Amino acid sequence: MIKRTKGVTISQVADAAGVARSSVSRAFTRPDMLSPETVERILRAAETLGYVPNHTARALSTGRHGNIGLIVPDIANPFFPPLIQAAQTEADRSDFCIFLGNTAENPKQEDKLVGRFAGQVEGLVLASSRLSDERIRAHATQLPLVLINRDIEGIPRVLIDSSAGVRQAVEHLANLGHRKIAYVSGPAASWSNKQRRSAIRAGATARGMELSIIPTPSPTYQAGREAVDAVLQTGASAVVAFDDLTAQGILTGLAERHIVVPRDFSIIGCDDVLGAVTFPALTSVSNHSVDVGRIAISMLLDILRSRNVADVRYALDTKLVVRDTTADAPSQGLQLG
């Protein structure tokens, strides 16, 4: 059985070193204020006693706890882990810890998490928030906020601007001879979804293509798989999916119906996080998701340091990466069955 040691306080170190508590504090936070010998003596005493500064106490008196929160709608969506990892690495560089929150695509849960985090983080990054603009604005009055993939004026934000990539995707399909296409959409509350949908609509209109929109409840493998019937009913020969996970589900749904991709049907994802991992390798709209996480955190840290909030809007570009799920439109239409 393991027994626990309890914390050594600053007072004990002070006694051991024969100095005041404040000197011990300074030995750790502003050693230049003390004579080198004193610092040395204090550090030695601290070392001997196994002193570790109490984070909570420090946070209380300074108001800075060195934590930032990151809230995502679904950790299991492969778009997020690399982003989270990058965020963590960036935070780490400045000795910040990350609180991670998963909302399960649920605005209620998101609201609750923000509230719970608010007290113990210096700032918050909301990735792909499903909250209303009003709620987000309200939260922003409580603590520094940075948004990912959400465009609200006055709140610093990092956006993946899919329009260029999606436009390329539509062009690509048009060049392959596809005339009827479908967009399998993402969550209604998703800014990315709105943006991708309008980009594809604009592209389709420009090329005189017929476009159908298929709704899904959430961007998941399962939702993609279940959307396949609806997609096929539109008579489309190609589909653009809200994200790679959905696209992967569609891929499976098509395989289950013995529809061969890309011979019989073309498919394009978004985010390019599964690209090489699916079979066939997925053509997808690529977007430096890793950068997004890093940039959002570094932006937040800047705000925390400078204490003033500029209205930053950081948009990252996207481009189509062609792999093996797109090909010429089948000449005499799709043979169902």
Task: Give the residues lining the site for DNA (CB under 7 A).
Answer: 7-11, 18-23, 25-26, 28-29, 33-35, 37-39, 51, 53-54, 57-58, 60-63
Candidates 21-29, 196-204, 206-214, 250-258: pick the segment binding a second copy (CB under 8 A): 250-258
Alpha-carbon distance of 207 to 16, in angstroms, equals: 79
Binding mask 251-290 for a second copy (x = CB under 8 A): xx--x--------------------xxxx-----------
Among DNA, a second copy, none, residue 311 binds (CB under 5-8 Å by kind): a second copy
Residue 76 CB, shortest distance to a second copy, in Å, is 4
The sheet that has 319-321: what strands, in order across it? 210-214, 180-184, 238-241, 266-271, 283-286, 319-321
Least Å distance, CB 260 to a second copy, is 12
Strand ranges inside 142-215, DSSP E: 145-148, 157-160, 180-184, 210-214
Q: Which element (helix H / strand E) includes 97?
A: strand 97-102
| Nearest alpha carbon to residue 65 among 12, 147, 124, 138 | 124
Taking CB under 8 A as the criterion, the residue among 155, 182, 295, 296 binding a second copy is: 155
The residues that bridge with 8 in the sheet, in sequence order, are: none
- Choose the one of a second copy, DNA, none that binds residue 140, judging by a C-beta under 5 to 8 angstroms depending on kind: a second copy
Q: Which is nearer to a second copy, 140 or 329 (CB)?
A: 140
Helix (H, G, I), strand (E, B) or coil at 266: strand
Residue 221 partner contact from a second copy, DNA, none using kind-dependent CB cut-offs of 5 to 8 Å: a second copy
State the Cα torsion 200-203-208-212 to the nearest 10°: 0
- Please choose, from the candidates 50, 45, 42, the residue with its C-alpha nearest in 3D space to the C-alpha of residue 22: 42
HEC secondary structure over 15-61? HHHCCCHHHHHHHHHCHHHCCHHHHHHHHHHHHHHCCCCCHHHHHHH
User: CB of 48: closest distance to DNA in angstroms?
Assistant: 15
Please, which residue, 18 or 333, has the CB nearer to DNA?
Answer: 18
| Residue span binding a second copy (CB under 8 A) among the ranges 96-104, 164-172, 181-189, 206-214 | 96-104
DSSP calls for 232-257: HHTT-SEEEESSHHHHHHHHHHHHHT
Interface positions with a second copy (CB under 8 A)? 1-5, 52-57, 59-60, 65, 67, 75-76, 78, 81-82, 84-85, 88, 95, 97-102, 104, 116-120, 137, 140-144, 154-155, 221, 248, 251-252, 255, 276-279, 309, 311
